[in-house]
Structure 1
Amino acid sequence: MAIDGARTFLDKFADPAAVADYAAGPPRYVPGFADLHRMTGILLAEQVPDDAHILVLGAGGGLELRALATAYPGWRFTGVDPARAMLDLARGALGADARRAELIEGYIDDAPSGPFDGAVCLLTLHFLDAAERTRTSVQIRDRLKPGAPFVAAHASFPQDETRGQWLDRYAGFAIASGADPVQAHGARDAVSAALNMLSPEGDEAVLRTAGFRDITPFYMAFTWRGWVSYA
């Protein structure tokens, strides 16, 4: 799905009920969701200074912003997201730490040129097809200082004959975590119908093509993968 397709996806965030319930969703569908945030902070902190400026693409909702701001009180953030209602939610999630975050409505092209000390993009890039994912990754890299870390995690799983089994596990985890079974199976079917899903090997190829180096997987949980790489 290219940018126009991503805009279609944004329609769900025009629903106040969906926005209000957003925070409950990721922990049900993403194994180790809070741990993913903690690992992201650790990977960034290995390389960035105590007063780092971090770019967060797909910052709507503010869950990763809140986790990082709480754990690293010297960092400041520029968060970018195309959904205004989700950015409002992020401001609320940040509370007093909102003073350390500039929140921008838009896409990667709307982000400042930086250079940033590090970047994060969680649960977002799978909404883009391979070409747009590569273009976006290039734009992220171009906004980073040389050697700066980039942490990305999103849906990425084998696109071979085992694809259906992985999707069943995705739904099964959500149900076991308290999601409504009808909604969980609906989410499974939506992911199954998406033509923009890549295998882990395909996602690593995107990062290489975008110019990132030392690409290292650090997170694997059913249909989810995460990598740290460097500009």
Structure 2
Amino acid sequence: MNPFSDPQAVARYTEGAPRNVPGYHAMQRMTTLLLAERVREDARVLVLGAGGGLELKTFAETRPDWSFDGVDPSAEMLKLAQRTLGPFASRATLHQGYISDAPIGPFDAATCLLTLHFLTLEERQRTTAEVHRRLKPGAPFVVTHFCIPQDERPVWLSRFAAYAAIDPDQAAAIDSHLTILSPEQDEAILREAGFSNVSLFYAGFTFRGWVGYA
């Protein structure tokens, strides 16, 4: 079963992500600051991979005038996002599906946190280009996901297993189900989609994050 369709696995998501991703809450705070540098007070933000609602809640708590369109393929994860948002739920419109199911915008900013590694290379390229198409000129796009130098893959997966306190076989299984690219490949995808001034802002063991501008 897809873990994002399993109600029990989904219920554990809000604990697992902060535990397994180094500096998880700081990464979300940095993302908020990077968006706020460029957007207006009443910004409309596209949040891709919004299931769970953790980043939506962080953004909403910090920026009371922002509104959001959240997109996620999992109905169970979107239900969790609705619960996580609580009193902020009225400021977010949630869409089940993929980038093609997102409104055309144009949006003031976009994020895709801990999601792109689930997509194949071709899907990632298309998704990134479709996000760019939905943004206003100069709008920031922030991404974070698994990213490992390819010649150091085994050692970094071992470190991830140690940090997340999981068996190395579990880390290998995760690796086999994800598309984990090199930093150079990740940056190239953003630039090829039309984003400029692509900059690394976050690195935590096997995770990296970039900001680029439409």
Query: Does residue 130 of structure 2 align to residue 139 of structure 1?
Result: yes
Q: Which amino acid counterpart does residue 34 of structure 1 have in structure 2?
A: H
Report if the CA contact (8 A) 1:166-1:222 is conserved.
yes
Provide the C-alpha distance between the structure 1 equivalents of 2:128 and 2:175, rounded to a whole number of angstroms: 24
Provide the C-alpha distance between the structure 2 equivalents of 1:187 and 1:77, rounded to a whole number of angstroms: 34
Query: Does residue 197 of structure 2 align to residue 197 of structure 1?
Result: no
- Mapping of residues 130-169 of structure 1, within 5 Å: 130-160=121-151, 162-169=152-159
Tell me by how many angstroms 1:193 deviates: 2.1
Tell me by how many angstroms 1:83 deviates: 0.2
CA RMSD of aligned residues (A): 1.2
> Identical aligned pairs, as a percentage?
55
Tell me by how many angstroms 1:151 deviates: 0.3
Query: Does residue 46 of structure 2 align to residue 55 of structure 1?
Result: yes
The aligned residue for residue 163 of structure 2 is: 173
Query: Does residue 4 of structure 2 align to residue 21 of structure 1?
Result: no
Query: Does residue 178 of structure 2 align to residue 188 of structure 1?
Result: no
Query: Does residue 8 of structure 2 align to residue 12 of structure 1?
Result: no
Tell me by how many angstroms 1:57 deviates: 0.2
Number of residue pairs aligned between Structure 1 and Structure 2? 214
Range moving further from structure 2, 119-128 or 186-195: 186-195
Report if the CA contact (8 A) 2:138-2:213 is conserved.
yes
Tell me by how many angstroms 1:186 deviates: 4.3
- Mapping of residues 92-107 of structure 1, within 5 Å: 92-107=83-98
Query: Does residue 120 of structure 2 align to residue 116 of structure 1?
Result: no
Q: Which amino acid counterpart does residue 225 of structure 1 have in structure 2?
A: R
The aligned residue for residue 4 of structure 1 is: none
The aligned residue for residue 3 of structure 1 is: none
Tell me by how many angstroms 1:207 deviates: 0.5
The aligned residue for residue 203 of structure 2 is: 220
Determine which of 12, 22, 25 is the counterpart of 1:31: 22
Report if the CA contact (8 A) 2:39-2:108 is conserved.
yes
Q: Which amino acid counterpart does residue 212 of structure 2 have in structure 1?
A: S
SS in 2 for 1:78: strand
1:43-62 deviations in Å (ceiling 9; x for gaps): 00000011000000000000
Determine which of 118, 123, 138 is the counterpart of 1:127: 118
Tell me by how many angstroms 1:16 deviates: 1.4
Provide the C-alpha distance between the structure 2 equivalents of 1:218 and 1:171, rounded to a whole number of angstroms: 23
SS in 1 for 2:129: helix
Report if the CA contact (8 A) 2:54-2:84 is conserved.
yes
For structure 1, the residue ranges without an aligned partner over 5 or more in a row are 1-9, 176-180
Tell me by how many angstroms 1:167 deviates: 0.3
Provide the C-alpha distance between the structure 2 equivalents of 1:208 and 1:190, rounded to a whole number of angstroms: 30
1:109-148 deviations in Å (ceiling 9; x for gaps): 0000000000000000011122110100000000000000
Report if the CA contact (8 A) 2:118-2:178 is conserved.
no
Aligned in 2, Cα 1:78/1:195: closer, same or farther, shift over 3 Å? closer
Tell me by how many angstroms 1:29 deviates: 1.1
